[in-house]
Amino acid sequence: MKISVVVPSFNEEGNIPEIVNQLTLRLAKYDSYEIIFVDDGSSDQSLTLLEKFHTSDRRVNYISLSRNFGHQNALKAGLDFASGDCIVSMDADLQHPPEMIDQLIEKWLQGYDIVYTKRMVDKKLSFFKRKSSSLFYKLINFLSDTKIEDGTADFRLVDKSVLSVFSNMKENDLFIRGLMKWVGFKQFCIEYYPNTRFSGTSKYSVAKMFKFALKGITSFSVKPLYLSTLLGSFISLLAFGYGIYALCIGLFTDRAVSGWSSVIISVLFIGGLQLMMMGIIGEYIGKLFMQAKGRPQYIIRKKSF
Protein backbone atom coordinates (compact mmCIF):
# COMPACT_ATOMS: atom_id res chain seq x y z
CA MET A 1 0.00 0.00 0.00
CA LYS A 2 1.39 3.37 -1.06
CA ILE A 3 0.18 6.70 0.30
CA SER A 4 0.53 9.91 -1.70
CA VAL A 5 0.16 13.36 -0.13
CA VAL A 6 -0.24 16.35 -2.47
CA VAL A 7 0.48 19.82 -1.08
CA PRO A 8 0.01 22.90 -3.31
CA SER A 9 2.07 25.83 -2.05
CA PHE A 10 2.59 29.46 -2.96
CA ASN A 11 5.15 31.51 -1.03
CA GLU A 12 5.06 29.16 1.97
CA GLU A 13 8.76 29.07 2.89
CA GLY A 14 7.88 29.58 6.55
CA ASN A 15 5.58 26.55 6.58
CA ILE A 16 7.40 24.04 4.39
CA PRO A 17 9.97 22.78 6.96
CA GLU A 18 7.27 22.23 9.58
CA ILE A 19 4.81 20.46 7.30
CA VAL A 20 7.57 18.23 5.89
CA ASN A 21 8.58 17.30 9.42
CA GLN A 22 5.02 16.56 10.52
CA LEU A 23 4.13 14.59 7.39
CA THR A 24 7.24 12.41 7.44
CA LEU A 25 6.66 11.57 11.12
CA ARG A 26 3.00 10.83 10.46
CA LEU A 27 3.61 8.68 7.37
CA ALA A 28 6.59 6.72 8.72
CA LYS A 29 4.28 3.94 9.95
CA TYR A 30 3.15 3.09 6.41
CA ASP A 31 5.01 0.74 4.07
CA SER A 32 5.43 3.23 1.27
CA TYR A 33 4.60 6.89 0.79
CA GLU A 34 5.42 9.97 -1.23
CA ILE A 35 4.91 13.67 -0.58
CA ILE A 36 4.42 15.88 -3.63
CA PHE A 37 4.71 19.63 -3.18
CA VAL A 38 3.49 21.76 -6.08
CA ASP A 39 5.28 25.11 -6.07
CA ASP A 40 2.80 27.42 -7.78
CA GLY A 41 5.23 30.05 -9.06
CA SER A 42 6.49 31.15 -5.63
CA SER A 43 8.73 34.22 -5.44
CA ASP A 44 10.30 33.31 -2.08
CA GLN A 45 12.69 30.47 -1.20
CA SER A 46 10.05 27.73 -1.29
CA LEU A 47 11.57 25.88 -4.25
CA THR A 48 15.09 26.03 -2.79
CA LEU A 49 13.81 24.46 0.43
CA LEU A 50 11.96 21.75 -1.47
CA GLU A 51 15.08 20.89 -3.45
CA LYS A 52 17.05 20.50 -0.21
CA PHE A 53 14.39 18.28 1.35
CA HIS A 54 14.28 16.12 -1.78
CA THR A 55 18.07 15.70 -1.70
CA SER A 56 17.91 14.37 1.87
CA ASP A 57 14.74 12.31 1.38
CA ARG A 58 13.72 11.05 -2.06
CA ARG A 59 10.17 10.50 -0.86
CA VAL A 60 9.73 14.28 -0.66
CA ASN A 61 9.13 15.37 -4.25
CA TYR A 62 8.25 18.65 -5.88
CA ILE A 63 6.75 20.06 -9.05
CA SER A 64 7.62 23.65 -9.93
CA LEU A 65 5.16 25.41 -12.23
CA SER A 66 6.33 28.01 -14.72
CA ARG A 67 4.16 30.70 -13.10
CA ASN A 68 1.27 31.06 -10.69
CA PHE A 69 -1.61 29.08 -12.18
CA GLY A 70 -3.80 29.22 -9.07
CA HIS A 71 -4.49 26.79 -6.25
CA GLN A 72 -6.89 24.54 -8.16
CA ASN A 73 -4.56 24.05 -11.14
CA ALA A 74 -1.60 23.45 -8.84
CA LEU A 75 -3.61 20.81 -6.98
CA LYS A 76 -4.55 19.20 -10.30
CA ALA A 77 -0.86 19.01 -11.25
CA GLY A 78 -0.02 17.18 -8.04
CA LEU A 79 -2.93 14.77 -8.41
CA ASP A 80 -1.95 14.01 -12.01
CA PHE A 81 1.51 12.84 -10.92
CA ALA A 82 0.54 11.03 -7.70
CA SER A 83 1.17 7.29 -7.86
CA GLY A 84 -0.27 6.08 -4.56
CA ASP A 85 -3.12 3.67 -3.95
CA CYS A 86 -4.81 6.57 -2.20
CA ILE A 87 -4.03 10.27 -2.43
CA VAL A 88 -4.45 12.87 0.31
CA SER A 89 -4.58 16.56 -0.64
CA MET A 90 -4.04 19.35 1.88
CA ASP A 91 -2.82 22.94 2.14
CA ALA A 92 0.71 23.91 3.17
CA ASP A 93 -0.28 26.32 5.94
CA LEU A 94 -0.97 23.48 8.44
CA GLN A 95 -4.56 24.56 8.98
CA HIS A 96 -5.46 21.12 7.68
CA PRO A 97 -4.32 18.89 10.60
CA PRO A 98 -1.76 16.30 9.43
CA GLU A 99 -2.79 14.07 12.34
CA MET A 100 -6.13 13.50 10.57
CA ILE A 101 -4.45 11.56 7.79
CA ASP A 102 -4.75 8.38 9.88
CA GLN A 103 -8.52 8.86 10.13
CA LEU A 104 -8.81 9.43 6.39
CA ILE A 105 -6.86 6.27 5.63
CA GLU A 106 -8.87 4.27 8.16
CA LYS A 107 -12.13 5.17 6.41
CA TRP A 108 -10.57 4.44 3.03
CA LEU A 109 -9.58 0.96 4.26
CA GLN A 110 -13.21 0.46 5.27
CA GLY A 111 -14.18 0.79 1.61
CA TYR A 112 -14.85 4.48 0.99
CA ASP A 113 -13.54 5.87 -2.31
CA ILE A 114 -13.54 9.52 -1.23
CA VAL A 115 -13.07 10.65 2.36
CA TYR A 116 -13.57 14.40 2.55
CA THR A 117 -13.49 16.78 5.48
CA LYS A 118 -15.86 19.43 6.73
CA ARG A 119 -14.51 22.39 8.65
CA MET A 120 -16.44 23.19 11.80
CA VAL A 121 -17.25 26.84 12.53
CA ASP A 122 -14.10 28.51 13.81
CA LYS A 123 -15.00 31.38 16.13
CA LYS A 124 -11.50 32.80 15.62
CA LEU A 125 -12.33 33.62 12.01
CA SER A 126 -13.67 37.08 11.27
CA PHE A 127 -17.43 37.58 11.07
CA PHE A 128 -17.11 38.50 7.38
CA LYS A 129 -15.13 35.35 6.59
CA ARG A 130 -17.61 33.07 8.34
CA LYS A 131 -20.70 34.67 6.84
CA SER A 132 -19.30 35.00 3.31
CA SER A 133 -18.27 31.33 3.34
CA SER A 134 -21.72 30.25 4.54
CA LEU A 135 -23.41 32.44 1.94
CA PHE A 136 -21.24 30.97 -0.82
CA TYR A 137 -22.26 27.38 -0.04
CA LYS A 138 -25.93 28.30 0.30
CA LEU A 139 -25.81 30.10 -3.04
CA ILE A 140 -24.02 27.34 -4.92
CA ASN A 141 -26.38 24.69 -3.51
CA PHE A 142 -29.37 26.80 -4.55
CA LEU A 143 -28.08 27.29 -8.07
CA SER A 144 -26.53 23.88 -8.69
CA ASP A 145 -27.69 20.27 -8.74
CA THR A 146 -24.34 19.26 -7.21
CA LYS A 147 -24.69 19.81 -3.47
CA ILE A 148 -21.59 20.80 -1.50
CA GLU A 149 -21.66 20.86 2.29
CA ASP A 150 -20.79 24.08 4.09
CA GLY A 151 -17.18 24.00 5.25
CA THR A 152 -15.81 21.46 2.78
CA ALA A 153 -12.51 22.31 1.12
CA ASP A 154 -9.64 20.55 -0.63
CA PHE A 155 -8.55 18.48 2.37
CA ARG A 156 -9.56 14.96 1.37
CA LEU A 157 -8.47 11.45 0.45
CA VAL A 158 -9.34 9.87 -2.88
CA ASP A 159 -8.82 6.35 -4.13
CA LYS A 160 -6.69 5.81 -7.22
CA SER A 161 -9.79 4.63 -9.11
CA VAL A 162 -11.37 8.06 -8.55
CA LEU A 163 -8.15 9.76 -9.54
CA SER A 164 -8.07 7.91 -12.86
CA VAL A 165 -11.46 9.42 -13.69
CA PHE A 166 -10.53 12.88 -12.44
CA SER A 167 -7.22 12.99 -14.34
CA ASN A 168 -9.07 12.62 -17.64
CA MET A 169 -11.07 15.78 -17.03
CA LYS A 170 -9.83 18.64 -19.21
CA GLU A 171 -11.86 21.49 -17.78
CA ASN A 172 -10.04 24.79 -17.99
CA ASP A 173 -11.85 26.46 -15.08
CA LEU A 174 -11.36 23.98 -12.25
CA PHE A 175 -13.51 23.78 -9.13
CA ILE A 176 -12.21 20.54 -7.64
CA ARG A 177 -14.38 20.30 -4.53
CA GLY A 178 -17.41 20.42 -6.81
CA LEU A 179 -15.98 17.88 -9.24
CA MET A 180 -15.27 15.45 -6.42
CA LYS A 181 -18.92 15.56 -5.39
CA TRP A 182 -20.05 15.34 -9.00
CA VAL A 183 -18.14 12.12 -9.80
CA GLY A 184 -20.07 10.22 -7.15
CA PHE A 185 -18.47 7.03 -5.76
CA LYS A 186 -18.77 6.01 -2.11
CA GLN A 187 -18.01 9.04 0.05
CA PHE A 188 -17.63 9.72 3.77
CA CYS A 189 -17.32 13.03 5.64
CA ILE A 190 -15.15 13.71 8.70
CA GLU A 191 -15.61 16.92 10.67
CA TYR A 192 -12.65 18.82 12.09
CA TYR A 193 -11.58 22.08 13.67
CA PRO A 194 -8.86 23.84 11.64
CA ASN A 195 -5.49 24.62 13.18
CA THR A 196 -4.13 28.13 13.32
CA ARG A 197 -1.98 29.01 10.32
CA PHE A 198 1.60 28.13 11.30
CA SER A 199 3.33 30.97 9.46
CA GLY A 200 2.59 33.77 7.02
CA THR A 201 -0.76 35.15 5.92
CA SER A 202 -3.59 33.89 3.76
CA LYS A 203 -3.11 34.34 0.01
CA TYR A 204 -6.87 34.64 -0.58
CA SER A 205 -7.97 38.26 -0.82
CA VAL A 206 -11.63 39.29 -0.97
CA ALA A 207 -11.33 39.68 -4.75
CA LYS A 208 -9.90 36.16 -5.11
CA MET A 209 -12.61 34.74 -2.88
CA PHE A 210 -15.30 36.40 -5.01
CA LYS A 211 -13.70 35.10 -8.21
CA PHE A 212 -13.46 31.59 -6.76
CA ALA A 213 -17.11 31.70 -5.70
CA LEU A 214 -18.16 32.85 -9.17
CA LYS A 215 -16.11 30.04 -10.70
CA GLY A 216 -17.80 27.46 -8.47
CA ILE A 217 -21.30 28.68 -9.26
CA THR A 218 -20.87 28.93 -13.03
CA SER A 219 -18.95 25.65 -13.30
CA PHE A 220 -21.85 23.52 -12.11
CA SER A 221 -25.02 25.31 -13.12
CA VAL A 222 -26.74 27.27 -15.86
CA LYS A 223 -29.43 28.42 -13.43
CA PRO A 224 -28.05 31.99 -13.37
CA LEU A 225 -28.94 32.20 -17.07
CA TYR A 226 -32.40 30.83 -16.38
CA LEU A 227 -32.93 33.19 -13.45
CA SER A 228 -31.77 36.18 -15.49
CA THR A 229 -34.36 35.26 -18.12
CA LEU A 230 -37.11 35.08 -15.50
CA LEU A 231 -36.02 38.34 -13.90
CA GLY A 232 -35.82 40.07 -17.27
CA SER A 233 -39.31 38.85 -18.15
CA PHE A 234 -40.68 40.05 -14.81
CA ILE A 235 -39.11 43.51 -15.17
CA SER A 236 -40.38 43.74 -18.76
CA LEU A 237 -43.88 42.91 -17.53
CA LEU A 238 -43.67 45.63 -14.88
CA ALA A 239 -42.37 48.12 -17.44
CA PHE A 240 -45.22 47.22 -19.82
CA GLY A 241 -47.76 47.68 -17.02
CA TYR A 242 -46.28 51.03 -16.08
CA GLY A 243 -46.44 52.09 -19.73
CA ILE A 244 -50.16 51.21 -19.90
CA TYR A 245 -50.73 53.14 -16.68
CA ALA A 246 -48.93 56.24 -17.99
CA LEU A 247 -50.85 56.06 -21.28
CA CYS A 248 -54.20 55.85 -19.49
CA ILE A 249 -53.30 58.82 -17.29
CA GLY A 250 -52.48 60.90 -20.37
CA LEU A 251 -55.57 59.90 -22.39
CA PHE A 252 -58.36 59.75 -19.83
CA THR A 253 -57.46 62.24 -17.15
CA ASP A 254 -56.41 65.85 -17.03
CA ARG A 255 -53.32 64.95 -15.03
CA ALA A 256 -50.24 64.80 -17.23
CA VAL A 257 -47.39 62.63 -16.09
CA SER A 258 -45.01 65.27 -14.82
CA GLY A 259 -41.34 65.08 -13.93
CA TRP A 260 -38.61 62.96 -15.28
CA SER A 261 -37.40 61.36 -12.01
CA SER A 262 -39.46 58.22 -12.43
CA VAL A 263 -38.29 57.87 -16.03
CA ILE A 264 -34.63 58.27 -15.10
CA ILE A 265 -34.94 55.82 -12.22
CA SER A 266 -36.65 53.26 -14.45
CA VAL A 267 -34.04 53.63 -17.20
CA LEU A 268 -31.15 53.32 -14.78
CA PHE A 269 -32.69 50.32 -13.05
CA ILE A 270 -33.50 48.45 -16.22
CA GLY A 271 -30.14 49.42 -17.74
CA GLY A 272 -28.29 48.14 -14.69
CA LEU A 273 -30.29 44.93 -14.79
CA GLN A 274 -29.42 44.43 -18.44
CA LEU A 275 -25.73 44.95 -17.73
CA MET A 276 -25.91 42.38 -14.95
CA MET A 277 -27.56 39.86 -17.26
CA MET A 278 -24.97 40.56 -19.94
CA GLY A 279 -22.26 39.98 -17.35
CA ILE A 280 -23.73 36.57 -16.47
CA ILE A 281 -23.92 35.62 -20.13
CA GLY A 282 -20.40 36.97 -20.67
CA GLU A 283 -19.09 34.79 -17.85
CA TYR A 284 -20.37 31.65 -19.57
CA ILE A 285 -19.16 32.78 -22.99
CA GLY A 286 -15.74 33.51 -21.48
CA LYS A 287 -15.59 29.97 -20.11
CA LEU A 288 -16.40 28.56 -23.55
CA PHE A 289 -13.77 30.83 -25.13
CA MET A 290 -11.01 29.71 -22.76
CA GLN A 291 -12.02 26.05 -23.04
CA ALA A 292 -12.02 26.24 -26.84
CA LYS A 293 -8.42 27.44 -26.85
CA GLY A 294 -7.34 24.09 -25.42
CA ARG A 295 -4.45 25.53 -23.40
CA PRO A 296 -2.89 23.28 -20.74
CA GLN A 297 -4.16 23.61 -17.17
CA TYR A 298 -0.58 24.15 -15.98
CA ILE A 299 3.00 24.21 -17.29
CA ILE A 300 5.78 22.44 -15.42
CA ARG A 301 9.13 24.19 -15.31
CA LYS A 302 10.93 21.64 -13.16
CA LYS A 303 10.17 18.51 -11.17
CA SER A 304 12.05 16.05 -9.01
CA PHE A 305 10.83 12.84 -10.67
Q: Are 63 and 135 members of one domain? A: yes
Taking 70 as the threshold, does the pLDDT of residue 217 lie above it?
no
Among 192, 155, 195, which residue's Cα sits nearest to residue 15? Answer: 195
For 237, other C-beta atoms within 10 Å of its C-beta total 10
Q: Are strands 32-39 and 114-119 parallel, antiparallel or unpaired?
A: unpaired
Residue 69 CA to residue 198 CA, distance in Å, equals 24
- Number of domains observed in the structure of the chain: 2
Position 216 in a domain: no
The overall average pLDDT reported for the chain is 79
Residue 177's pLDDT band (cuts 50, 70, 90): confident
Q: How large a percentage of the chain has pLDDT more than 90?
A: 28
Position 18 in a domain: yes
pTM for the structure as a whole: 0.72
Domain span holding position 107: 2-203+296-303
What is the predicted pLDDT for the residue at 264?
59
Residue 181's pLDDT band (cuts 50, 70, 90): confident
What is the predicted pLDDT for the residue at 188?
92
Q: Among 80-89, 191-200, 238-247, which is the least confidently predicted range? A: 238-247
Q: Are 243 and 272 members of one domain? A: yes
Q: CB–CB of 20/99 below 8 Å?
A: no
Q: Among 91-100, 143-152, 187-196, 293-302, which is the least confidently predicted range? A: 143-152
Q: Are 140 and 261 members of one domain? A: no
Q: Mind listing the pLDDT tens digit for each residue in 33-84?
A: 999 999 998 888 999 999 999 999 999 999 999 998 888 889 999 998 998 8
For 213, other C-beta atoms within 10 Å of its C-beta total 18
User: DSSP label at 118?
Assistant: E
What is the predicted pLDDT for the residue at 172?
74
Position 215 in a domain: no
Q: Greater confidence, 178 or 156?
A: 156
Q: Are 16 and 163 members of one domain? A: yes
For 225, residues 6+ apart whose C-beta sits below 8 A from its C-beta are 280, 281, 284
Q: Are 257 and 189 members of one domain? A: no
Taking 80 as the threshold, does the pLDDT of residue 85 lie above it?
yes
What is the predicted pLDDT for the residue at 247?
61
Q: Are 69 and 181 members of one domain? A: yes
Helix pair 16-27, 46-56: axis angle to 10 deg: 30
Q: Are 133 and 173 members of one domain? A: yes
* Rounded mean pLDDT, 166-184: 79
Q: Mind listing the pLDDT tens digit for each residue in 128-146?
A: 566 666 676 676 666 666 6
β-strand partners of 65:
300
Q: Among 87-91, 221-225, 270-274, which is the least confidently predicted range? A: 221-225
Q: Are 235 and 198 members of one domain? A: no
Taking 90 as the threshold, does the pLDDT of residue 219 lie above it?
no
What is the predicted pLDDT for the residue at 47?
92
What is the predicted pLDDT for the residue at 279?
67
